[in-house]
Amino acid sequence: MAKKPAGARRKLVEFDEETWQALDLLGRDSMKTLQELADEAFRDLLRKYDRPTDLKTALKQSVRSSAAPSASQNRSRGPRR
């Protein structure tokens, strides 16, 4: 069993029998553990919703969003001269 990384969290997840069989077969075919499959699935889900998967990416997104003025801020200032 792999050593649990510092700061790792655990959750109990329940699968119906068909889903479990499909995941077990996928893991065997791809030679991946359930943990590796879950890590890949959650990374893909976060990417789908444009959510950062690591601290470096989160900081970059934060800088970009705070550096670019929002459309509502531009409208409230009135016309430029």
CB 44 within 8 A of CB 38: no
Domain parsing of the chain, residue ranges: 33-63
DSSP single-letter state for residue 31:
T
For residue range 11-32, what is the model confidence (pLDDT) as tens digits? Answer: 999 999 999 999 999 999 999 9
pTM for this entry: 0.65
Calculate what percentage of the chain has a pLDDT beyond 90.
Answer: 48
- Please state, in angstroms and rounded to a whole number, the distance separating the CA atoms of residues 73 and 29: 53
Q: Is the pLDDT of residue 48 over 80?
A: yes
What token pair was written down for 35?
């943990």
**What is the CA angle 22-28-34, rounded to 5?**
70
